[in-house]
Amino acid sequence: MEQNIFNLASEHVRKYLILYTLISVAIAVSIGYYSQDFTAAHKGLFSNLVIFFSILTIYPSMVQLKTEGLAKMFKMWKPIFVSLIYVFVLSPIIAFTLAPSFGNNQIGIGFVASNVVPASTASLGYVLIAGGSIELATALGVLSLVIAIPAIPFFLSLYGNQVSVTTPIIPLMTSLLYIMILPLIAGQLTRYLIRKKKGVSFVNTTIKPYLSLATMLSMFALIFVLVDKEAAVMITKPELVGYIIGYESMIIIGILVFSMIVSRLMHFTYEDHQAVALISAPKNQSVAAAIATMALNPASALTPAIIPMIQPVITIIYIHFEKPLRRFLVPGAAKQAQIEKDKKMKLKPSWFAALYIIQIVIMTFSVRSSNNVLQTTLPLLSKYNFFYNEFEVGILIALMSLSALIAMIFNGRLHSYLRRYSFILANIIYTITFLLFSFSGSISVVIYAVVSGFSYGLIFPNIMTAAGISEDRKARERMLAIYSLTLSISLIGGPALESLILRYYPLNYVFILFLPIVILSTVISPFLKFPEEDRSKKRPTVWDKPGFRMAIYTLIVYTFPTAFIISFGGIFAVDQFHASYSLVAILFALFFTSSFLTRIFFSFLDIKKLWPYILALMVISLLGLSMVFISINIIVYSIGLIILGVPHGLGMPIATYSIGRSFPASERNTANSYFTSTMMSTNIIILLFGGMALEFIGLRLLMLFMIPIVVLLLYLTVRVIRSDSTSKIE
């Protein structure tokens, strides 16, 4: 019973390693920033804790390290030689090149230390998950560990001389003695004694979950102490954090990609390649942290504190590309085996359908609420923290929308199995960039906005398509109604939670404290259904369908005011009515509550013809725009937002119903991708125009100028209704 509990606990922690790492970082940053005086007064305590948890992390790994029977593996000289080149030649060269750009020699030498240490035994776990050769990986791990003992002092001294930083050899060797040599000897001695007394099976299998769990828990504790210790620097110098994450990502990804090319040229098997790549690219940051603490300047510990935020994420993403990698390494091999799929892709009245609905609800809430936080908080952050003007705010949000637009167009052209891989990858990248906004600066915020926008563009259309996979109209529209309701709930919950956070924390803390909600989508993204498409058929011409044109007209009518309100409405309330940030978030909550109540009402209706609701949407939009234009105080402005919430609530369900009725399941991904990319195009046009116009005429006149646009779309809608009878029937 006890064994099963530890097995389950170990597997659980390993499965959600990224999640727990990010949670450790988020908690440590919050606590460390507000307790920086305590940290400064107890530097010795924190240094001792770093050393203690480093040893505690490394020792169980050394017990697990299988050194017996490795002699025959050293005969495989080609992969061993290539791996050593990656670890002790390529990685140090790249680190030496990038480190001086930090502008701080101590942080630079810490960055070098993080890239000349060997792999940890966690890399053996990655090799096992990826289906690589565990025997070769173990041999590489042992060999790199032994070579690293003299190599680390050599590289650090070499770099120190290059940048005129003293690197004392005796403290370096002392730190290696404590952190690598003694744990290696003690671990192997422990392994020998247990193996002699209990047998090989006991040491290799029975105690493995205990040792693995101890290693991972110690690693979380070490990350917590390191980040807590450096939290003040991470908050006050967010761009430095971004550089460390960006540079380390370049090194890891660069080595992984380069190793793929070399492995193909040298005809390595998939199993041998994975052993080489996963032992060469990830590094043991516990060793780097202990070396920085014991032998280098305390500032050098910043890099090994930050790298665990990104290293496991990139590694897990890489492992997910097993099938394409196998095809790449074996040219001319048969194509991927037939992809599993649901034959009819219909929702069935069973527990499976219930679970699927829950999955759609969770993912929709996670992605849409977090994206709404970006759309409402980034304008405030960029204007009041980075001193952007209204035009620059518009450019920033437009760039985020443009990258999403490009991704949506790209998504519409992908085969379903490639869309699945890109969907999972986009969720992971979206989560990472969401966290990085907390550490952004006036320049890096633009990079993060573009990356998060592109990721969102690969995520959102697929959730929308998954919500409408059923061919049965009633089942499909019931699911789409649930999807639309969840959109509204997310647009209420996001601002409400944001308001609560802003009452107690500054703007940049919103992203850290909202992160657990973002992670939900990433965790369950591999389980989303992707309907198969018949690529032998000609790609559908979506604009020829009256239902698609009606969806676009509806989209523009409710998107125009929504884009302005979300991007500039908060700034307008602050400047015109002196509203607090918390009150701004409440105003957004009122707007989205109105939208939510409208969608609840709409979901109870048995919709036969869509056109009456489209006309009502446009007329109500005209009334809401007029109210915002004449607003003389915060009350009138609030009423205008509530009225505009009604067409916002009607717009998405009407558009999705219209597309669902106009296209079969195999064509809906293309239609949804074009629909959502049109949504992003509209946002870009509005934001670019609005950012410039706001500088000269203000939000009131912008609302006024939108009235003739709505009237024009109302006229076009009436023309479609009159010219095509299909717009009047089911």
Calculate mean pLDDT across residues 399-416: 80
One domain for residues 267 and 377: no
- Is pLDDT at 721 greater than 80 in this prediction? no
Q: How confident is the model at residue 339, as a pLDDT?
A: 39
One domain for residues 567 and 658: yes
One domain for residues 519 and 576: yes
Nearest Cα neighbor of 461 from 433, 429, 430, 419 is 419
Vertex 234: Cα angle to 229 and 236 (nearest 5): 115
Instruction: Tell me the C-alpha to C-alpha distance, in Å, between residue 650 and each of 212, 425, 641.
Output: 52, 32, 15
Domain count, the chain: 2
- Evaluate whether residue 537 is within a structural domain: no
**Which of the four pLDDT bands, split at 50, 70 and 90, describes residue 2?**
low
- Evaluate whether residue 344 is within a structural domain: no
Maximum C-alpha span of the chain: 88
- Is pLDDT at 361 greater than 80 in this prediction? yes
Q: How confident is the model at residue 727, as a pLDDT?
A: 44
One domain for residues 580 and 717: yes
Q: How confident is the model at residue 334, as a pLDDT?
A: 37
- Evaluate whether residue 401 is within a structural domain: yes
What CATH number is associated with residue 307? Answer: 1.20.1530.20
One domain for residues 487 and 553: yes
- Which of 296-310, 483-497, 624-638 shows the lowest mean pLDDT across its residues? 483-497
One domain for residues 679 and 713: yes
Domain boundary among 329, 360, 383: 329
- Evaluate whether residue 536 is within a structural domain: no
- Evaluate whether residue 617 is within a structural domain: yes
Between residues 333 and 403, the one the model is more confident about: 403
| Residue 589, phi then psi, degrees to nearest 5 | -65, -40
- Which of 423-437, 519-533, 539-553, 595-609 shows the lowest mean pLDDT across its residues? 539-553
Q: How confident is the model at residue 489, as a pLDDT?
A: 77
One domain for residues 269 and 375: no
One domain for residues 325 and 355: no
Q: Are 560 and 709 in contact (CB under 8 A)?
A: yes
- Is pLDDT at 413 greater than 80 in this prediction? no
Calculate mean pLDDT across residues 13-23: 73
Task: Return d(Cα 22, Cα 308) in angstroms, integer.
Answer: 9
Nearest Cα neighbor of 189 from 52, 70, 63 is 63
- Evaluate whether residue 337 is within a structural domain: no
**Which of the four pLDDT bands, split at 50, 70 and 90, describes residue 341?**
very low
One domain for residues 285 and 168: yes
Average pLDDT in the chain: 77
Give tens-digit pLDDT for 649-663.
777 777 777 777 777
Q: Are 710 and 557 in contact (CB under 8 A)?
A: yes
Give tens-digit pLDDT for 464-522.
778 777 666 667 767 777 877 787 777 667 777 777 777 777 887 888 888 888 888 88
Domain that holds residue 75: 2-329
Give tens-digit pLDDT for 675-710.
777 776 776 676 666 666 666 676 777 777 777 877
- Is pLDDT at 46 greater than 70 in this prediction? yes
- Evaluate whether residue 346 is within a structural domain: no
Task: Return d(Cα 354, Cα 352) in angstroms, integer.
Answer: 5
One domain for residues 177 and 123: yes
- Evaluate whether residue 397 is within a structural domain: yes
Between residues 369 and 727, the one the model is more confident about: 369
One domain for residues 270 and 173: yes
**Which of the four pLDDT bands, split at 50, 70 and 90, describes residue 645?**
confident
What CATH number is associated with residue 618? Answer: 1.20.1250.20
**Which of the four pLDDT bands, split at 50, 70 and 90, describes residue 346?**
very low
One domain for residues 148 and 75: yes
Q: How confident is the model at residue 730, as a pLDDT?
A: 44
- Is pLDDT at 333 greater than 50 in this prediction? no
- Is pLDDT at 226 greater than 60 in this prediction? yes
Task: Return d(Cα 122, Cα 4) in angstroms, integer.
Answer: 21
Tallying the residues shown for the chain, one arrives at 730
Retrieve residue 527's tokens. Answer: 């389980």
- Is pLDDT at 176 greater than 70 in this prediction? no
